[in-house]
Every structure is written in structure tokens, then in C-alpha cells.
């Protein structure tokens, strides 16, 4: 039996802390997207999500999953699964699983976005709010995303099977493209959220989880891929920085809206208490007047007795 290569030997004994961190990140990514999925479904509206944010986020995640699948290090990890145990293979492929889960979750956002488009939400719209995209715009976004995924899959397969020497430059191109789109992705969403002055269907809890999670994710990928995989983990550093800016904006709007609602509810509560206080004062006056009348009658009866 052929002995495993040095790289496969290293994977055959997975590092427990690294393995635990990778598993935690996989489930963390999945859980982090659930608030966004739930918010769209519960509101039955995808209003507030920029179509360009959806388009660029979906294409960026497609570039990212194609990037990590075509990296030579990932190809070696996949090849080692024939030589090592199933547990060791799983540990070696967790980095790919992390990116794959993120790709699937963002594509689900795109699906929910088109399903609940263009149902308006209950929030008030500023007079200078940007015009809402049409359903044709939404269909165009979905078509571009599907076509983009198809093209990337076909080209990656061609390079993998027939032009392996071009695989590393192709993977680098995919990683750089993913990073660029990740940067651009948040610009239209920042603009849309600022103009709407409300997060609407954008989930603040999702951003609270994902902003620090992006840096943890990048650190995990960096441990596995090293500096040579900068095009893979660098994407998540850029994403974390931009998402953090959107998170700060969203929290400011949420706190402002809560304060406004509290101020609007305060007069109503005072109005409800006023009749109760007025009734109590009226009863008190009646009792006081009654006692005074009795006192006057008693006082008037004294001279007569004399």
C-alpha cells in the first residue's frame, strides 16, 4: 500500500483546537444567517435590501466558493481523502465547508428576496427615499446570479480537468474578484439604508454576529491556508470592516426609532392615568363636602339644645 504524502500525513492527525474552531465556525455561519432569513419571512417583505447588495453578495460568494475549491492547497486536501480516515478528511475539508455554507445561506437570501419582492413593510418612508426597484429589476438580478454561477462552474471545471497549470492564476483571479465585489457589495446597501433611515428587512442581529465572526473566520482560514491563501481569507477581513460600518448605522437607526416610539407612547399612558386620578379627586371632594355638611348640622344643633 502506498504511504500517504507528507501533506496527507499532516492531515491524518487533525489538531483538536483547530478542528473545534472550524466546526464552531461552520455552525456559527449557519446560525448567523438565520436572523436575516427569519426577518424577511416574518415581515413578509424584502424591502430595504438593495438589489445591488443582493447581486454583488451572491456573485461574491460564488467567486469565494470557486476560489477555495480551485486553490492548490484545497485540491491537495480533497485528494488526501483517499489516503486518510473519514474524520481526518472531514477536518481537512472544514475550511471548504465554511465557505460553502456561507454561499448557500446568501443564495437563500437571494431566493427569499425575490419571493417576498416587492411587498412594502410597515415603516414610514422619508420623502427623499430612493425609488423602489421593479419586479423586472429583481428578475434581472436573479438571472445574472444564475448565469454567473453557471459560467464560473464551467470555467473552473475546464481549468481543473484540462488546464491544471492555469488553476492557480484562475483561483487568484476568483479570490481577487470576490474581495472586490465584497467591498462594492456594502456600498449600495450603506447608501440604501442611509436614505431609508431604517434597516427595514436588514437584520441587525445578523450583523452583530457576522461582524466579529468575519475576523474569526478569516483567522481560521489563515491558519489552514497560510499567507498563500490570502485571496481566500482576505475577503472576510474586508467584509467584516464594511459590515461593521453598516452595523453601526443600523444600531443608530434602531435606537432612534425606539426612543421615538417611547415618546409617542408616553402621552397615551398619561392620558389613561388622567381619568383615574380625576375620579379619585372627585370622590375625595365629595367625601370631604359630606363630612363638612354633617359637621355644620351638628354645630347648628348645639344652640337649640341649650
C-alpha cell at position 198: 431604517
Identify whether 250 is part of a domain: yes
229: part of which helix (H) or strand (E)? none
Closest CA to 192 of 140, 254, 126, 240: 126
Here the cell at position 116 is 417576498
Write the DSSP assignment of 122-179 as a string of letters. SS---TTPPPPPPHHHHHHHHHHHHHHHHHHHHHHHHHHHH-GGGHHHHHHHHHHHHH
Query: Looking at the whole model, is its pTM more than 0.85?
Result: no
Residue 106 lies in a domain: yes
Residues 6+ apart with CB under 8 A from 97: 22, 26
| In a domain? residue 37 | yes
Distance, CA of 35 to CA of 254 (rounded, Å): 16
User: DSSP code of 254?
Assistant: H
Q: Residue 266 has what pLDDT?
A: 76
In a domain, 282, yes or no: no
CA distance 107 to 54: 9
Average pLDDT per 10 consecutive residues for the chain, totaling 306 residues? 76 86 89 95 92 95 94 89 89 91 96 87 68 89 97 96 92 89 88 90 93 83 76 77 91 90 75 58 49 46 46
Whether residue 235 lies inside any domain: the answer is yes
- Tell me which residue range forms the domain holding 135: 6-261
* 268 domain residue, yes or no: no
User: How many domains is the chain partitioned into structurally?
Assistant: 1
Is 273 within the bounds of a domain? no
Distances (CA, A) of 123 to 85, 199, 210: 54, 10, 25
pLDDT for res 294? 45
Q: What is the pLDDT of residue 189?
A: 92
Does some domain include residue 276?
no
Amino acid at each position: 500500500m502506498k504511504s500517504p504524502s507528507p501533506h496527507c500525513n499532516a492531515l491524518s492527525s487533525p489538531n483538536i483546537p483547530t478542528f473545534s474552531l472550524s466546526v464552531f465556525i461552520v455552525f456559527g455561519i449557519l446560525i448567523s444567517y438565520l436572523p436575516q432569513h427569519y426577518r424577511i419571512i416574518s415581515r413578509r417583505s424584502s424591502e430595504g435590501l438593495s438589489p445591488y447588495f443582493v447581486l454583488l453578495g451572491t456573485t461574491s460568494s460564488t467567486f469565494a466558493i470557486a476560489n477555495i475549491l480551485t486553490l492548490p492547497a484545497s485540491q491537495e486536501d480533497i485528494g488526501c481523502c483517499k489516503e486518510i480516515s473519514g474524520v481526518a478528511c472531514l477536518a481537512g475539508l472544514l475550511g471548504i465547508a465554511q465557505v460553502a455554507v456561507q454561499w448557500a445561506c446568501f443564495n437563500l437570501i437571494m431566493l427569499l428576496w425575490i419571493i417576498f419582492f416587492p411587498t412594502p413593510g410597515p415603516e414610514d418612508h422619508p420623502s427623499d427615499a430612493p425609488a423602489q426597484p421593479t419586479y423586472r429589476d429583481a428578475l434581472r438580478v436573479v438571472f445574472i446570479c444564475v448565469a454567473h454561477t453557471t459560467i464560473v462552474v464551467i470555467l473552473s471545471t475546464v481549468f481543473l480537468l484540462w488546464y491544471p497549470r492555469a488553476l492557480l492564476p484562475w483561483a487568484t483571479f476568483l479570490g481577487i474578484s470576490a474581495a472586490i465585489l465584497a467591498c462594492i457589495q456594502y456600498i449600495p446597501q450603506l447608501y440604501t439604508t442611509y436614505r431609508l433611515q431604517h434597516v427595514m428587512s436588514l437584520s441587525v442581529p445578523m450583523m452583530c454576529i457576522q461582524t466579529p465572526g468575519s475576523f474569526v473566520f478569516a483567522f481560521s482560514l489563515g491558519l489552514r491556508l497560510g499567507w498563500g491563501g490570502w485571496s481566500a481569507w482576505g475577503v472576510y477581513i474586508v467584509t467584516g470592516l464594511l459590515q461593521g460600518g453598516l452595523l453601526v448605522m443600523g444600531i443608530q437607526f434602531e435606537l432612534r426609532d425606539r426612543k421615538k416610539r417611547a415618546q409617542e407612547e408616553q402621552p397615551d399612558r398619561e392620558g389613561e392615568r388622567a381619568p383615574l386620578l380625576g375620579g379619585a379627586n372627585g370622590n375625595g371632594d365629595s367625601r370631604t363636602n359630606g363630612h363638612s355638611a354633617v359637621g355644620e348640622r351638628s354645630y347648628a344643633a348645639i344652640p337649640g339644645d341649650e
